[in-house]
Structure 1
């Protein structure tokens, strides 16, 4: 598909396909409490609704290149869209937790191919000098959709049912499929041999890592034998996979892709960015609903300014800025803005209102728009068309792992830091403390009474949680800044400021 004859129907279709997958990654979170009540399950069981999807998707995503060569890109993406839609419908009709988890596994397996294939198809739809525009359009789906997911999920859950967060996928899938059916060229499948040893080791590696990250917090990390087993599987299978695949032309993943300096550095930066962005996004609903008392709808609306800022910045970046500046500078500014937004959140207190929370989101949203577009164009500047699918699959895995690491670290830090702050604050509340005496007098309560102790305990718990959230916002903010040196390990595109080199 030549860039001079861009098939805009296919372009819209692949962007909608990207939206289909990434929207599902955050829209479901809002509905979890309702599913918990509907199925009569515990919080630990609720975690499996998210974990089952993520683990299956991450395990399958690196196989995108292999599957595209074996079955053809057109056949694979259309099958993936149909399978994702069908499994979404089954999730919406689930009668119990067992059926839901099984359907979420299927959803993840089909959804794994949607983002990498969408990205590589979009790259092929534009010539090199216009790939900044292509990635801006792709970014609108990949970055803005998960940011707006909680808002859409809150509206659907509040006004309809939790089942609607799955059924909403059906019209999107039907629209994308109808546009794509007549636009993508057919490809002859190839008889590509499968390295079953490498495939098994790969699934064990990414599955072990993802299970450890997703279930670590709920199982108290390495005090759990299950988490210890996941760590051992990840380490030993990972080492065996690298040893088996290094220099192996038949390996399921072409590890030589990481010999490209720009691609390797971009993956490191993307992992760090995923940690900073998704670590923050994961705890914001808990922060604003659990601690600040926002209702579901207002908590959802809080993400809209962030998403709108990211979308507007992406459009500007893709159409104008990449022609004028070294894209690595834009990536660096994006990291700085993302970090600053998180640091602004760290400066809030328990009296924070809607716009106190929304403006830091706008700052981070601008950073997301500046980061994503130039990062993708620089990362793939030396990747040939034949390797686009595989490279996109690896890039997607790294992004997902980075977000999973960020979410795991954020959850762990909230829990551990809250306990530390509770102990520190509680140590200063005694019967002889002037502050405690002044507070009890102001409230008209006796200093030593069960009611006073309960009220004080509640205040200390709130302050301890607030300080824990502050610590995590600081951590994710500085995490974004820590990626700045990595940016300049990437090569500047040779054919203009924003244009990656043509595919070889």
Structure 2
């Protein structure tokens, strides 16, 4: 039977100090989100300390992402089995302990093992935090709750490189992990004090479905994360991972469609808003993470900015997100939420078009301006989309729905980063060949003179090649920004496939 809808003004799980609990829930979620990007800037320092190579040190990132993706589908079952409160507390506690162990790790195998534990704990924090924010707020405040939650999701990855760069430069790369300990302990204390639990439910676990989904996600994530370093499908490893991902996905779809008690209730996939939300989460993952993956190396390698300055130049994106998420929260129920999402997508595409106009002669202002506008667009898209995805979903399915949406966003992020990285590498080669073809004796008036002085000629040739490389890289970055702008525009018509809730936007329940 469907769960009864709470009366207006009454949350599903009333709490005494909702504001304090919100701080605790958001602290746990932001801590987990930060760890997806905070370690990126510290990788060169880790490589030296852990005795790793350029290729193997990336497992510090890959192990965390893959472990999170595999564990995510089990969130709903575990929440029903042991209670949402117990699962949340255990997840935060294990995350803090794993963070401390990552900080003391003295070898790459130990670091990877601790990151896997950290990733598994992180998998449950995100959907549980989203569910908790909906549960402790009355239906009419659901949109604003998603606004607050969304701010953490979008600002966390932006602030990760800034905080990571500061800690690495001024202290030690180990503080990238140690910083989680005081934050995590404070968060754990608040959650222990105030967090209520959803009702438990007797629910069998679909082991076969979990294995199929986990295998498909793990193989796909490994293929994306390792593809560039292994030269994609010229490597048997990548071919094997691709085939395993396809086969496991096919078996997962058939099993979930025919099993008597599947891993995810089939009712979830009959909800049009949730299904469309899954599609948009993939697009959001691609569009939001790809620019954040491209900008740091572009600013540091082509323009010569240090890590701290790079982080500060990306910070205005977070300011834009905070501004429009607050505005979007105020607009909910007053204007068609789908129009707000469309405006956000157009702003986002416009910012990417501005980024496609970057040149090697510009200063930092175009980066700051485009980043701020991009943040405005992200705020108008992410929070309203989350609110619409849950607006017509029965509250029994909130945890499963949240875990699916987070899984789709994670897959989109990995796919987006891999896609733009591949395009960048290939477009650099193509542009280098095109530009290099124009460097001839006719285009260099002093080529004759340089040819007579071999040492001078070699220096000039190396300088010319470096200039061509730099220009080719800039062209490749611009091409990536163009692609993401078109992806953002292409999905605009799909927004109107989302069902508009009747009356004021709130979480409604099936009869």
Q: What's the TM-score once normalised by structure 1's chain length?
A: 0.95
Q: Which residue of 1 aligns with 2:468?
A: 460
Q: Which residue of 2 aligns with 1:139?
A: 150
1:268, 1:486 within 8 Å by CA — same for their partners in 2? no
Deviation at 1:254, TM superposition (A): 2.5
Q: Which residue of 2 aligns with 1:192?
A: 203
Q: Which residue of 1 aligns with 2:410?
A: 400
Pair 1:438–1:177, CA change in 2 (3 A): same
Deviation at 1:271, TM superposition (A): 0.8
CA distance in 1, matches of 2:390, 2:339: 17
Equivalent residues in 2 for 1:204-283 (5 A)? 204-283=215-294
Deviation at 1:247, TM superposition (A): 4.1
Deviation at 1:308, TM superposition (A): 1.1
328, 334, 337: which one pairs with 1:324? 334
SS at match of 1:161: coil
CA distance in 1, matches of 2:228, 2:481: 18
Of the structure 1 ranges 336-345 and 44-53, higher mean CA displacement relative to structure 2 is found in: 336-345
Q: Which residue of 2 aligns with 1:347?
A: 357
Deviation at 1:266, TM superposition (A): 1.4
Unaligned runs of 5+ in 2: 1-5
Of the structure 1 ranges 192-201 and 208-217, higher mean CA displacement relative to structure 2 is found in: 192-201
Q: Which residue of 2 aligns with 1:488?
A: 496
SS at match of 1:488: helix
Equivalent residues in 2 for 1:164-175 (5 A)? 164-175=175-186
SS at match of 1:112: helix
Q: Deviations over 1:285-311 (max 9, x none)?
A: 111011111011101111211111111
CA distance in 2, matches of 1:107, 1:226: 26
406, 410, 425: which one pairs with 1:415? 425
Deviation at 1:184, TM superposition (A): 2.1
CA distance in 2, matches of 1:183, 1:264: 33
Aligned Cα root-mean-square deviation (Å): 2.0
SS at match of 2:445: helix
1:493, 1:500 within 8 Å by CA — same for their partners in 2? no
Pair 1:180–1:219, CA change in 2 (3 A): same
Q: Which residue of 1 aligns with 2:3?
A: none
2:441, 2:448 within 8 Å by CA — same for their partners in 1? no
Q: Deviations over 1:96-148 (max 9, x none)?
A: 11111111111110000001000011011122221111011101211111111
CA distance in 2, matches of 1:336, 1:63: 36
Q: Which residue of 2 aligns with 1:476?
A: 484
CA distance in 1, matches of 2:319, 2:207: 44
Q: Deviations over 1:420-459 (max 9, x none)?
A: 00111111111122xx2279999xx999811111111010
1:440, 1:446 within 8 Å by CA — same for their partners in 2? no
Deviation at 1:151, TM superposition (A): 0.9
1:63, 1:253 within 8 Å by CA — same for their partners in 2? no
SS at match of 1:176: helix
Deviation at 1:33, TM superposition (A): 1.2
CA distance in 2, matches of 1:34, 1:236: 39
Deviation at 1:189, TM superposition (A): 4.9
Q: Which residue of 2 aligns with 1:202?
A: 213
Q: Deviations over 1:467-498 (max 9, x none)?
A: 011111111111111211221110012132x3
1:262, 1:490 within 8 Å by CA — same for their partners in 2? yes
SS at match of 2:67: helix
116, 119, 122: which one pairs with 2:133? 122
92, 95, 98: which one pairs with 2:103? 92
Deviation at 1:40, TM superposition (A): 2.6
Q: Deviations over 1:53-102 (max 9, x none)?
A: 00010011111111101111000010000011110111111101111111
Q: Deviations over 1:22-67 (max 9, x none)?
A: 1111111111111112223211112111100000100111111111
CA distance in 2, matches of 1:120, 1:438: 68
Unaligned runs of 5+ in 1: none
Say whether 1:149 aligns with 2:160. yes
Deviation at 1:173, TM superposition (A): 1.1
Deviation at 1:360, TM superposition (A): 0.4
Say whether 1:11 aligns with 2:22. yes
SS at match of 2:71: helix
CA distance in 2, matches of 1:474, 1:255: 38
Say whether 1:80 aligns with 2:91. yes
Deviation at 1:367, TM superposition (A): 0.6
Pair 1:438–1:370, CA change in 2 (3 A): farther
2:85, 2:198 within 8 Å by CA — same for their partners in 1? yes
Q: What's the TM-score once normalised by structure 2's chain length?
A: 0.94
SS at match of 1:25: coil
Say whether 1:181 aligns with 2:192. yes
CA distance in 2, matches of 1:32, 1:398: 26
428, 433, 439: which one pairs with 2:438? 428
Say whether 1:311 aligns with 2:319. no
Equivalent residues in 2 for 1:43-82 (5 A)? 43-82=54-93
Deviation at 1:213, TM superposition (A): 0.9
1:24, 1:149 within 8 Å by CA — same for their partners in 2? yes
